[in-house]
């Protein structure tokens, strides 16, 4: 079972940031369970084979104020993909800094290190963020857009992050993460 | 939260309004009337009807004209949203954006500049699922514009129902047509929906059509009790 984590503080945002990810999983034939980060329990977490932490609206920062609600990720031994806010959660949880940086729209992503997420060397993706990350040594950069590190991996854990929204223009990145068919370089 | 809905009178903005009413206090509608037939941002056929649609729904309408030129219309949109924010004490805007990165990017940027939340409850929604939701909820929707082969004059003024969805699904498979018109192939006008307090009865119309491009224009209408 894939655990989808909703971080939206406003319930209307579910339709914009969570449902599109659910739809990709449905099309891929994956069994999934969606939970809001404030209502996650031990049973949900222990059943998950993988997890995806979805994004949220530009003005929504509640998830950052409650970062310890994601402490379970430090102990989790399953692959996790963080999308936008989800990537910020992963970075913040392991000590990286967030900085104010707004990027809205379609921008080119240059892959700087191959990973299970994509075969491509570059692609266009949709960005909707008002924070970027200053990575510490726990993370490596997989992709950049301009001077923004927008695709990352934890060096020791199977934690991946996309600052952009792959569900909009690059659903294959989510499918690649789920199916893990591309070998790790 | 007090929100305004960016409203064209078509199925997408109506469905977005419908969804947002369950979570927020919708206090006004906002329409841009484009003077260009090739607006980059705004639905065109029967946009003048939004005043009557707003009356039928029972919400005030903030209306602003725009020449429909590429970046100028964004300035007009910003002014309209700024006016709506000030007049109705808005905290957020709801749009019916489904697939257009161009539209969504620009509205998100303007909302960011104005300090408004931006909600897009139909974002990336499967188009057939969207059409089915409209029909299942008993919306009365007419096709008011066609702008792509093989959509011909016969589609203009037709109701969106299960048969029409089936036809559009076939055209999607055969011609790659976007069934909900998200590439601008089809425009729609809503005359009734569950949140309309009165329904719209079309009394007179005309049709202009040439080479798979046409408009069903409502010339006269009245509001009737439901």
Residues B89 and B58 in one domain: yes
Is A184 within the bounds of a domain?
no
Is A107 within the bounds of a domain?
yes
CATH number at residue B145: 3.90.1490.10
Annotated catalytic, A49? no
User: In terms of residue numbers, what domain contains B17?
Assistant: 2-119
Q: What is the ipTM of this complex?
A: 0.94
Report the predicted TM-score, pTM, of the whole model to 2 decimal places.
0.94
The strands making up A50-53's β-sheet, listed across from edge to edge, are: A32-36, A2-6, A50-53, A80-83, A159-162, A148-154, A139-145, A97-111, A122-134
Residues B48 and B84 in one domain: yes
Interface contacts (A, B; CB < 8 Å) = 59
Which chain B residue shows the shortest CA-CA distance from A168? B124
CA distance B22 to chain A (A): 8
Determine the 3-state secondary structure of A163 from DSSP: coil
Of B94, B119, B144, which marks where a domain is finished?
B119
Predicted local distance difference test score (pLDDT) of residue B183: 84
Is A23 in CB contact (< 8 Å) with chain B?
yes
Residues B69 and B113 in one domain: yes
User: In terms of residue numbers, what domain contains A54?
Assistant: 2-179
* Average pLDDT of span A78-98: 97
> Which H, E and C letters describe chain B, residue by residue?
CEEEEECCCCHHHHHHHHHHHCCCEEEEEEEEEECCCCCCCCCCCCHHHHHHHHHHHCCCEEEEEECCCCCHHHHHHHHHHHHHHHHHCCCEEECCCCCCHHHHHHHHHHHHHHCCEEECCCCCCCHHHHHHHHHHCCCEEEEEEECCCCCCHHHCCCECCHHHHHHHHHHHHHHCCCCCCCCCCEEEEEEECCCCCEEEEEEEEEEEECCCCEEEEEEEEEEEEC
Give the gyration radius of chain B's Cα atoms: 16
- Give bridge partners of residue A81 from the DSSP assignment: A52, A160
Which chain A residue shows the shortest CA-CA distance from B17? A12
Of B66, B88, B119, which marks where a domain is finished?
B119
Predicted local distance difference test score (pLDDT) of residue A183: 59
Give the one of A16, A105, A130 whose C-beta lies nearest to B123's C-beta.
A16
Instruction: Enumerate the residues of chain B whose CB falls inside 8 A of the CB of residue A23.
Output: 124, 126
Give the one of A16, A105, A106 whose C-beta lies nearest to B121's C-beta.
A16
Residues B189 and B101 in one domain: no
CATH number at residue B54: 3.40.50.620
Of B78, B99, B119, which marks where a domain is finished?
B119
Q: Give Cα B131 distance to the centre of its chain.
A: 13
CATH number at residue A69: 3.40.50.880
Q: Which two tokens stand for residue B173?
A: 């498979």
Rounded CA gap, B98 and B8, in Å?
14
Which chain B residue shows the shortest CA-CA distance from A125? B101
- Give bridge partners of residue B34 from the DSSP assignment: B66
Selected for mutation to probe chain A from B124, B125, B129 (highest A CB count within 10 Å) is B124
pLDDT in tens, A66-79: 999 999 999 988 99
Predicted local distance difference test score (pLDDT) of residue B41: 56
Decide if pLDDT at A180 tops 90: no
Residues of B with CB under 8 A from a CB of A: 1, 19-20, 22-24, 94, 101, 105, 108-109, 111-112, 117-126
Residues B106 and B139 in one domain: no
What is the distance between the terminal CA atoms of chain A, rounded to a whole angstrom? 26
Predicted local distance difference test score (pLDDT) of residue B35: 77
Predicted local distance difference test score (pLDDT) of residue A179: 87
Annotated catalytic, A162? no
CB contact under 8 A, B123 and A20: yes
Residues B7 and B89 in one domain: yes
Query: Mean pLDDT score of chain A, rounded to an integer?
Result: 95
Instruction: Enumerate the residues of chain A whose CB falls inside 8 A of the CB of residue B24.
Output: 12
Is A56 within the bounds of a domain?
yes
Lowest mean pLDDT among A88-92, A126-130, B120-124, B215-219: B215-219
CA distance A16 to chain B (A): 5
Residues B13 and B112 in one domain: yes
In the structure, what pLDDT confidence band is assigned to residue A141 with cuts at 50, 70 and 90? Answer: very high
Rounded CA gap, B7 and B49, in Å?
11
Rounded CA gap, B12 and A21, in Å?
21
Is A185 within the bounds of a domain?
no
Residues B29 and B132 in one domain: no
Decide if pLDDT at A14 tops 80: yes
Q: Which of the following is catalytic: A84, A144, A150, A154?
A: A84
Q: Which of the following is catalytic: A54, A144, A162, A165?
A: A165
CB contact under 8 A, A20 and B23: no
Decide if pLDDT at A100 tops 70: yes
The total number of structural domains that make up chain A: 1
Residues B53 and B79 in one domain: yes
Residues B93 and B162 in one domain: no
Q: What is the pLDDT along chain B (226 residues), one digit of tens a residue?
A: 999 999 999 999 999 999 999 999 999 999 998 876 655 555 567 888 999 999 999 999 999 988 867 778 889 999 999 999 999 999 999 999 999 999 999 999 999 999 999 999 999 999 999 999 999 999 999 999 999 999 999 999 999 999 999 999 999 999 999 999 988 899 999 999 999 999 999 999 999 999 998 999 999 999 999 9
Is A84 within the bounds of a domain?
yes
Residues B134 and B68 in one domain: no
Predicted local distance difference test score (pLDDT) of residue B66: 85
Rounded CA gap, B10 and B130, in Å?
13
Is A101 within the bounds of a domain?
yes
**HSE of B7 in the Cβ direction (CA atoms, 13 Å)?**
31
CB contact under 8 A, B108 and A104: yes
Residues B94 and B164 in one domain: no
> Which H, E and C letters describe A1-66, residue by residue?
CEEEEECCCCHHHHHHHCHHHHHHHHHCCCCEEEEECCCCCHHHHHHCCEEEECCCCCCCCHHHHC
- Give bridge partners of residue B186 from the DSSP assignment: B146
Is A111 within the bounds of a domain?
yes
The total number of structural domains that make up chain B: 2
């Amino acid at each position: 079972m894939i655990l989808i984590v909703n971080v939206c503080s406003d319930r209307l945002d579910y339709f914009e940031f969570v449902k599109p990810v659910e739809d990709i999983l449905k099309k891929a034939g994956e069994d999934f369970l969606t939970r809001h980060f404030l209502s996650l329990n031990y049973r949900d977490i222990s059943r998950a084979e993988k997890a995806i932490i979805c994004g949220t609206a530009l003005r929504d920062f509640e998830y950052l104020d409650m970062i310890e609600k994601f402490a379970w990720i430090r102990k989790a031994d399953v692959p996790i993909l963080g999308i936008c806010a989800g990537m910020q959660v992963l970075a913040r949880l392991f000590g990286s800094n967030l900085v104010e940086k707004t990027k809205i729209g379609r921008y080119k992503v240059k892959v700087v290190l191959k990973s299970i997420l994509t075969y491509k060397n570059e692609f266009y993706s949709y960005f909707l963020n008002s924070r970027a990350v200053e990575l510490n040594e726990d993370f490596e950069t997989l992709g950049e857009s301009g001077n923004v590190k927008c695709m990352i991996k934890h060096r020791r854990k199977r934690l991946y992050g996309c600052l952009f929204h792959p569900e909009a223009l690059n659903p294959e990145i989510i499918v690649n993460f789920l199916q893990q068919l591309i070998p790790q370089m | 939260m007090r929100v305004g809905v960016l409203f064209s009178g078509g199925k997408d903005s109506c469905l977005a309004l419908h969804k947002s009413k369950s979570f927020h206090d919708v206090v006004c509608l906002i329409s841009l009337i484009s003077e260009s037939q090739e607006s980059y941002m705004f639905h065109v056929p029967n946009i003048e009807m939004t005043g009557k649609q707003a009356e039928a729904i029972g919400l005030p309408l903030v209306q602003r004209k725009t020449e429909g030129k590429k970046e100028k219309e964004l300035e007009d949109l910003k002014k309209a949203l700024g006016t709506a924010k000030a007049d109705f004490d808005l905290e957020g805007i709801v749009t019916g954006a489904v697939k257009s990165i161009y539209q969504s990017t620009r509205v998100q940027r303007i909302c960011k500049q104005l300090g408004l939340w931006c909600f897009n409850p139909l974002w990336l929604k499967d188009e057939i699922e969207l059409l089915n939701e409209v029909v299942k909820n008993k919306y009365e929707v007419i096709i008011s514009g066609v702008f792509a082969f093989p959509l011909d004059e016969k589609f203009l003024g037709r109701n969106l129902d299960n048969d029409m969805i089936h036809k559009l699904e076939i055209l999607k498979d055969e011609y790659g047509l976007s069934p909900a018109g998200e590439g601008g192939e089809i425009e729609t006008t809503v005359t009734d929906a569950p949140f309309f307090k009165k329904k719209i009865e079309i009394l007179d119309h005309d049709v202009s059509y040439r080479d798979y491009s046409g408009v069903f224009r409502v010339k006269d209408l009245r509001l009737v009790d439901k």
